[in-house]
Structure 1
């Protein structure tokens, strides 16, 4: 008999879906997915069958497609199929064939789910798959999250066979005389997962014949530990992370009190793209001179006096932008600016708005990032001053200096440190006939 009660109990315990939900089944034609299809059909859930042909095994791949199609038709179920040029996709995206197949199938499953109105996508992964995943993560290196193996439910993906081992699946398929097709690539040791399944796990099973169930219990414990850790980290975020307009401030003294320090700081910073080796470097630099920076793909962490400041990295693809006199607005480094002209010589004092003698300007102008050696004459003064010194006087945080836009005249003179100070040489005089107005627009 099929393990219908265990199947339904697992679905209820894990809250995988509701009785009236529609489920899209990913069916390859192998034992696991075919058994899953028969279990769903037996409990009367509204399902459809989706099959991917990756064009990797020539005639065998077509055989699998035909088998699944006939199986779906014999059970009067909707059938969806697609063909991929997997090797081409892998080459174009510079990833392995396995990763290409994974990306392609998950994207397509989601497309079909949305288009055809299914609530969830069911995958036929079982306990042995979860064991292999944990071992792969351990071999490659992993955090706590890599120890819980394959989760029964993640967003719209459900895995209702995780209560079964491969041996149990084989037993039910053989006992019920269920037809299936065998994927010859499962015997290839070219893939890490297959090497573990064929060479490593049999030796572990000699030590522990109940390896799958032991791993299942351990995985549950790791999942609970991860939940506890996440709760602790969320509590730490409310205590240590201070959101300011220019970034997220974390007290260095607060970091020093963390125990275990590396683990907790990594958990605090990982959502900003920082990996463990970089977190270790940050910890070793906490007592060093201000200005030390550490980078992830999206953020920078700057040690600045008493705080570690996390800020987004502004793209430097365009380190400067040309401004023409016929533009009424322009953008630079995520900042919006307005440009207008007036014959009215009235002006207002504002850091975000400057009024300039139009006759002094030499278009096109340049707006760019601050550079070492930049100088200007601050409004109200008569002598040149290094902008770097001006930043120090204004107590501009180190991590913000390189992001402040600098407006430069056609002759190379600095006109304006945007949002901070205009150059005195470009102020309105009694002789001024026309005014050019630049405005930094604040949302």
Structure 2
């Protein structure tokens, strides 16, 4: 007898789908997916079957395609079919056949859901699949997230047969005389999952015949631990994260108080895609490498004196704008620069965003640009030149912010003003100065 009530209760308990939802069932023609289709039909859910032909097993692939089409006719439900040249896709993208097949089918499922308003994608994973996934993750190395196994629900993906073991499915299919097709690749141990299924799990079952039930109980504990950790991380983010625009800062003192330090810091930095190795290197550098930079695929982390600074990566725009003598305002990378010509020796004081420059020393056209490696100037009050990189360090300017500082350059390529910071001493207003040009920098109002 089909376990219809258990199926319905499992779907309800885990909020997988309701009788009002449209379900897209992924069906290969194998025993598991055939039972899934029959359970959906017997439970009265509205569903369709979707089958992928990966063109990997010759006549056997065509047999599976024909079988699933006939199954859809038998159950009187809509049927979707697609074919993929999986080998070519894998070669073109330099990925494994398994990874290619996975990527292709899930992209297609998502497309079907969007086009035909299906609410979820039902997959026929069972308890043994969950056991194999955990063992595979442990073999490759994993954190807590890898221990929760296959979740009943993950976005649009739902797995309403996780209450059944492989033995349960075999027994039900035999009793109900359900027909199905066998995938010959399932008996090949060249795939890691098959090797675990065919060689490792049987040995473990010799030690514990109720292995699937034990793992089901363990999975529940692991999921609860994961939820507990995530709740702790949420509270920590609210406490230690200082967010400003796209930038996130964490005080070093807060990092030192984390316990367990590596686990919690890895969890905090997970949203910025930093690896576990980066977290280890960062912790080793906390007391001795101020200014060190760490990178993830999406973000950059700077270890400053009292905090870490995290910001999205961006490509530095090497932009330069010419300023002509008759211009009085220009826009540059979110800044506005105003020019005021004054027939006096007026000196702007106590305003780092403005500078009075001796007009006689200005050679037009001027240039406003980003700082460049090797740039130097003579900071106001100094008779010796200083590299801008050293000047920024003395100003305690974080590394990622120095690329945002505009630099005003004279027609003879000398730096006139590090905008917002310091005038070059060579261009200051002196006793003999007769006229000045006042430069005023401000952020553009967006």
Q: Which residue of 2 is the match for residue 441 of structure 1?
A: 444
- Contact (CA 8 Å) 2:248, 2:309: kept in 1 or not? yes
Within 1, Cα distance between the matches of 2:210 and 2:410?
A: 76
Offset, 1:314: 2.5
Q: Which residue of 2 is the match for residue 132 of structure 1?
A: 132
Within 1, Cα distance between the matches of 2:406 and 2:55?
A: 52
Q: Mean alpha-carbon deviation: is it higher for 266-275 or for 111-120?
A: 266-275
Within 1, Cα distance between the matches of 2:339 and 2:56?
A: 65
Q: 1:264 to 1:169 in 2, by over 3 A?
A: same
Q: 1:171 to 1:304 in 2, by over 3 A?
A: same
Q: Which residue of 2 is the match for residue 179 of structure 1?
A: 179
Within 2, Cα distance between the matches of 1:405 and 1:48?
A: 60
List gaps (5 residues or longer) in structure 1.
none
Q: Mean alpha-carbon deviation: is it higher for 211-220 or for 274-283?
A: 274-283
Q: Mean alpha-carbon deviation: is it higher for 74-83 or for 295-304?
A: 295-304
Structure 1 residues 124-163: aligned runs within 5 Å? 124-163=124-163
Offset, 1:312: 2.5
Offset, 1:130: 0.9
Within 2, Cα distance between the matches of 1:345 and 1:9?
A: 86
- Contact (CA 8 Å) 1:370, 1:403: kept in 2 or not? no
Q: After superposition, what is the alpha-carbon deviation per residue over 1:67-94, rounded to whole angstroms, capped at 9, x for unaligned? A: 1112112222111111111122212222
Structure 1 residues 16-27: aligned runs within 5 Å? 16-27=16-27
Offset, 1:5: 1.0
Within 2, Cα distance between the matches of 1:71 and 1:344?
A: 87
Q: Which residue of 2 is the match for residue 387 of structure 1?
A: 388
Q: Which residue of 2 is the match for residue 10 of structure 1?
A: 10
SS in 1 for 2:52: strand
Q: 1:22 to 1:375 in 2, by over 3 A?
A: same
Within 2, Cα distance between the matches of 1:211 and 1:147?
A: 15
1:69 aligns with 2:72: no
Q: After superposition, what is the alpha-carbon deviation per residue over 1:287-337, rounded to whole angstroms, capped at 9, x for unaligned? A: 114212222222232222222222333225x5x235467999887xxx435
Q: 1:377 to 1:55 in 2, by over 3 A?
A: same
Q: 1:238 to 1:345 in 2, by over 3 A?
A: farther
Q: Which residue of 2 is the match for residue 50 of structure 1?
A: 50
- Contact (CA 8 Å) 2:354, 2:441: kept in 1 or not? yes
- Equivalent pairs counted in the alignment come to 435
Within 2, Cα distance between the matches of 1:112 and 1:425?
A: 68
Q: TM-score, normalised by structure 2?
A: 0.86
Within 2, Cα distance between the matches of 1:186 and 1:344?
A: 84
Q: 1:375 to 1:10 in 2, by over 3 A?
A: same
Q: 1:345 to 1:158 in 2, by over 3 A?
A: farther
- Contact (CA 8 Å) 1:360, 1:426: kept in 2 or not? no
- Contact (CA 8 Å) 2:55, 2:86: kept in 1 or not? yes
Q: TM-score, normalised by structure 1?
A: 0.87
Q: 1:308 to 1:45 in 2, by over 3 A?
A: same
Q: 1:414 to 1:92 in 2, by over 3 A?
A: farther
Q: 1:46 to 1:254 in 2, by over 3 A?
A: same
Within 2, Cα distance between the matches of 1:246 and 1:34?
A: 49
Q: 1:131 to 1:408 in 2, by over 3 A?
A: farther
Residue of 360, 363, 386 corresponding to 1:360: 363
SS in 2 for 1:309: strand
Within 2, Cα distance between the matches of 1:115 and 1:235?
A: 39
Q: Mean alpha-carbon deviation: is it higher for 141-150 or for 305-314?
A: 305-314
Offset, 1:342: 9.1
Q: 1:181 to 1:303 in 2, by over 3 A?
A: same
Within 2, Cα distance between the matches of 1:164 and 1:93?
A: 36
SS in 2 for 1:178: coil
Offset, 1:436: 9.5
- Contact (CA 8 Å) 1:246, 1:400: kept in 2 or not? no
SS in 2 for 1:121: strand
Q: Mean alpha-carbon deviation: is it higher for 299-308 or for 170-179?
A: 299-308
Q: Which residue of 2 is the match for residue 166 of structure 1?
A: 166
Offset, 1:185: 1.0
Residue of 326, 334, 354 corresponding to 1:336: 334
Offset, 1:223: 0.4
SS in 2 for 1:360: coil
Q: Which residue of 2 is the match for residue 225 of structure 1?
A: 225
